[in-house]
Amino acid sequence: MVRGVLEDGLLAWRGIPYAAPPVGELRFAAPAPVVPWEGVLDASEFGPIAPQPFSYRLIRPPSAVVPSDEDCLTVNVRAPIRDAGDSTLLPVLVFIHGGGYSAGSSRDFSGQGEGFVQSGRIVFVSFNYRLGALGYLDFTAYSSAERSFVSNLGLRDQLALLQWVQDNISGFGGDPDNVTVFGESAGGNAVTTLMATPSARGLFARAIAQSPPPTAVYSQAVTSRWAQDYVDILRDVVGARKTADGDAAADGLALLPPQQLLTEAPVDDLVAASVTLQASIPDAYPGAFCFAPVVDGELLPELPIRAFRDGRAHRVPLIIGTNDREGSIFRGRVDILPRTPERIDALFERAPVSSQQAMRDAYPGLPGLRAGADFGGDYGFWYPSTRVADFHSRYAPVWSYRFDVAPRLLEILGLNATHGIEMFTLFDSTEEPLARIMTSLGGQEAYAAAGERMRAFWLQFAEDGIPAETWPRYEERTRSTLIVDAEDRIESDPRRERRRAWNRFIPSLAG
């Protein structure tokens, strides 16, 4: 039994374990069954967030200290209050938070979902999963008879959560046969990856991928190198702590074999090493994200983009889309896209010579700041999303969108409708401090209205699998796309010339 709370006119249950704490012998192990508790579990407070490198700024309510812990595998449920005797099961929305698989949590404003639940039409689920090296590096090469390491831990956590929903959500008023999984950014990647994961079959009926990087999934040949780089960095981190703190135990730890080092290192050292690795990857491997799923031949047998192309992805209805200028926000600490001249040159060196002029024509001024940002954002998010839409539409219903609404301040700053901008308005959170700053110079009304329309589409899709009669299905022949703007419109094959340039530039995705 669990005991929730009544909050803002809604029922809320928080911090419910959906798997055993992944600590001790279970660090780097697949999620294990929940440890039973006695009596009634107090589900009034969020569980700790997954260990991550900095305090996440989108937490609500504000807190000076947001606790993090390896024991982070918890789920939250929000449901509308219903009339006594109403036993009708409601559709379920399961939200997977973003954050580059290295940050974020179910405590974020987007993980709480009041705007959706206040409709009275759905039950909303959010959850934490393992991040960074603890969830998204492949250490299987270091497995031994004494200690095994499991791949795709964050993905396995997501599967465990979806199984928990199947087994338990009816007790909260949700229909396990009508589950829509949706996420943004890394959460969108999780959605497209789950659609290509055979063991996810039957765990959800529909999917929504917002600004996903669908091709951020890599072979073991690549991820094993990243794992080795990480172990080397971790030794340096532990050694530096010994030098700084005079910690003799740290000196001994740095000399341990990789298996022991990974299992015995303090979590703060693991996170510190993650930061260093993540900062090095965009230059060493332009266009790559080091914390991402791996094609391990077991849980994930092939690249998701190939599964979509060949019809092996789960044939569920899909909404997929991106924002107008995905790449404009990726600067400073989140400068992970191939948007600098050096990174762009590296991609051009890998592309067919015959494709390069068409690509430069598609992005006038490349590798300048604006053109480089659009090139990098399209490489990571928009173009591969168009390929997922093309491929999946051959086998299942697809709806495509582009979010173009940008408050005036973001236009002045040259960010426009950048990555993640739709989240505040979609989740009816335009009063959040950052959203208020964004709309301080105007545009709040159009921004809020766009989010309200999107939320209506998502709710309708969760209920019956069709977002709106006025939103045509996506087909390769027409590529009809909803442009969410001050006034919505439908465009056929938007940015056609860019798409054609990318088809020649990355022939492996032209499919």
CATH number for the domain that contains residue 472:
3.40.50.1820
- 221-247 average pLDDT score: 87
138 and 119 in a single domain? The answer is yes
- Average pLDDT, whole number, for the chain? 94
372 and 293 in a single domain? The answer is no
- 431-475 pLDDT, tens digit per residue, is 888 899 999 999 999 999 999 999 999 999 999 999 999 999 999
312 and 358 in a single domain? The answer is no
Kindly tell me if the per-residue pLDDT of 393 is higher than 80.
yes
C-alpha closest to that of 348 among 280, 286, 283, 284: 286
Question: Domains in the chain: how many in total?
Answer: 2
**Catalytic residue from among 126, 185, 211, 429:** 185
**Catalytic residue from among 106, 328, 419, 422:** 419
Rounded alpha-carbon distances, angstroms, from residue 477 to 67, 362, 382, 493, 500 = 50, 22, 18, 9, 14
Tokens matching residue 361: 């024509």
185 is catalytic: yes
267 and 393 in a single domain? The answer is no
Which of residues 283, 316, 349 is at a domain's end? 316
323 and 207 in a single domain? The answer is no
**Catalytic residue from among 70, 114, 184, 326:** 326
Question: Considering the entire predicted model, what is its pTM?
Answer: 0.96
163 and 295 in a single domain? The answer is yes
273 and 337 in a single domain? The answer is no
394 and 451 in a single domain? The answer is yes
326 and 428 in a single domain? The answer is yes
Contact indicator for 497, 362 with CB cutoff of 8 Å? yes
14 and 158 in a single domain? The answer is yes
Per-residue pLDDT, 335 = 86
Tokens matching residue 273: 């090493």
Kindly tell me if the per-residue pLDDT of 394 is higher than 60.
yes
Residue with more model confidence, 67 or 63? 67
Strand partners, 12: 5, 78
398 and 308 in a single domain? The answer is no
Which of residues 316, 340, 361 is at a domain's end? 316
Burial bucket for residue 282 (CB in 10 Å: 0-12, 13-18, 19+): buried
* CA gap 308, 509 in Å, rounded: 11
- What letter would DSSP give residue 423? H
**C-alpha 67: how far from its chain's center?**
21
**C-alpha 483: how far from its chain's center?**
22
333 and 282 in a single domain? The answer is no
- 116-172 pLDDT, tens digit per residue, is 999 999 999 999 999 999 999 999 999 988 899 999 999 999 999 999 999 999 999
Per-residue pLDDT, 466 = 98
Domain span at residue 185 reads 1-316
Per-residue pLDDT, 250 = 64
Contact indicator for 126, 76 with CB cutoff of 8 Å? yes
Q: How many helices (H) and strands (E) does the chain have?
A: 19, 15
Which of residues 316, 349, 370 is at a domain's end? 316
